[in-house]
Amino acid sequence: MTSLSSVTPYDNMSPVTRAAYRAKAAAADLAPLPRSAKDDALLAIADALEVRTSEIVEANAVDIERAREAGTSDAIVDRLTLTPERVRAIAADVRQVAALPDPVGEVVRGSTLPNGIDLRQVRVPLGVVGIIYEARPNVTVDGAALCLKSGNAVLLRGSSSAYASNTALVKVIRDAVGGSGLPADAVQLVPGESRDSVQELMRARGMVDVLIPRGGASLIRTVVEGSTVPVIETGTGNCHVYVDAATDLDMAVDILLNSKAQRPSVCNAAETLLVHRDVADAFLPRALDALAEAGVTVHGDERVVGYADRTKATIVPATAEDWETEYLSYDIAAAVVESLDAAVAHIRLWSSGHTEAIVTTSQAAARRFTQLVDSTTVAVNASTRFTDGGEFGFGAEIGISTQKLHARGPMGLPELTSTKYIVTGDGHTR
């Protein structure tokens, strides 16, 4: 195949712009590739990660030492750390991506128009995907694998704290991609450790087709507000559990505990409990005790605070701030509401639109709650923790979109594609 990249002028470009142009040229070469060519490259990446593990772990040691010298917390150092075992797990994930179906080429819509023209809407790669992310170096490999599988070139802009690790990982990936006969520029680390390179990436409209920020709220806000490239907003989860008037109390306690305490540091963990006033007396003392046992501090409204003498739970009075906080810790805000509609109104006002659960035995209540709540996912008698690409059976996840455009909720491979229309006639004119 003739490469289309020869027509692009590279002179006088900044390193980031040059990387973006190279990615665009690589994307043109990737788009028409059949699944087998992409899977071969993915399997080569997985093999190379295993063969060159020591190289990766050595580079990672540089980042870890730098992090320790900077007084970074043990938790963050742990997230940063790559062991031979973790590298093997990352390689296994890449093989899993290779085993997934290829979304490219799927005919989404098709018909023969009245004039005889054949119309087909076909899935195609987005083109160039930029991922801006923090700490974890496994995102480097995940992101590259998912983008390659969906025929996209990827520009990776990881945290400067993981720069040595990411550089080593991307070197291994590019060697494997190039060795498989695909353009190595399909996977690039954005050059430069400074913030300027993020700014430049955010202004690369026309060269970069979408930016996906993955990380804390402040990173996401910066990208959303400063980018002229279309952005998919991910991640913030101020999730609610609403216990309805008609409810199974055991189920409600189970779902509350699982939603809050099974893994509090993730975006689909619950942050606020809303209880219908009719079940408050029956439910709250039990629920508060159970939360206390799990080590959860409750930030309660006046009525919840009123149960303090009937529970061993630590209850502190909630302020308005609590209703909008994503704690990501063993804390939960809690309020008693007058009705299902009041719960919905509370959620509409304060939720980040990620996941809200209702626990109810009433079919009418379940139906009304799912209709009125405007979040990526509404769970009926199930934990908020199920909002996850793996749980949904997508096989892989590039993030959880909390915006309404393009993709909403867990994003799998199809969410990394666009479509184009193919119009086929026999000389048709209007």
Check residue 391 for interaction with a second copy (CB under 8 A): yes
CA distances from 290 to 247, 297, 299, 303 (A): 17, 11, 15, 18
Residue 38's region, left for phi above 0, alpha for psi from -120 to 50, else beta, is: alpha
Nearest CA among 296, 269, 280 for reference residue 247:
280
Check residue 421 for interaction with a second copy (CB under 8 A): yes
Nearer to a second copy, 325 or 376 (CB): 376
Check residue 324 for interaction with a second copy (CB under 8 A): no
Binding positions for a second copy, 27-46, rule CB under 8 A: 28, 31-32
Kindly tell me which residue out of 49, 64, 153, 378 binds a second copy, with binding defined by CB under 8 A. 378
Q: What is the DSSP letter of 190?
A: P
> From the centroid of its chain, how far is CA 153?
18
Q: How many binding residues for a second copy (CB under 8 A)?
A: 79
Instruction: Choose the binding region for a second copy from 186-194, 243-251, 303-311, 327-335 (rule: CB under 8 A).
Output: 243-251
Check residue 291 for interaction with a second copy (CB under 8 A): no
CB of 428 to a second copy, least distance (A): 4
Instruction: Choose the binding region for a second copy from 95-103, 188-196, 325-333, 340-348 (rule: CB under 8 A).
Output: 340-348
Which helix (H) or strand (E) segment holds residue 334: the answer is strand 331-337
Instruction: Choose the binding region for a second copy from 60-68, 238-246, 250-258, 282-290 (rule: CB under 8 A).
Output: 250-258
What count of residues does the chain have?
430
Check residue 398 for interaction with a second copy (CB under 8 A): no
Residue 249's region, left for phi above 0, alpha for psi from -120 to 50, else beta, is: alpha
Cα separation, 2 vs 23, whole angstroms: 16
Kindly tell me which residue out of 189, 210, 273, 318 binds a second copy, with binding defined by CB under 8 A. 210
CB of 4 to a second copy, least distance (A): 5
Check residue 361 for interaction with a second copy (CB under 8 A): no
Nearer to a second copy, 48 or 126 (CB): 126
Angle, nearest 10°, between helix axes 35-51 and 84-99?
170
Nearer to a second copy, 164 or 378 (CB): 378
Nearer to a second copy, 92 or 117 (CB): 117
Strand 210-214 relative to strand 128-133, pairing: parallel
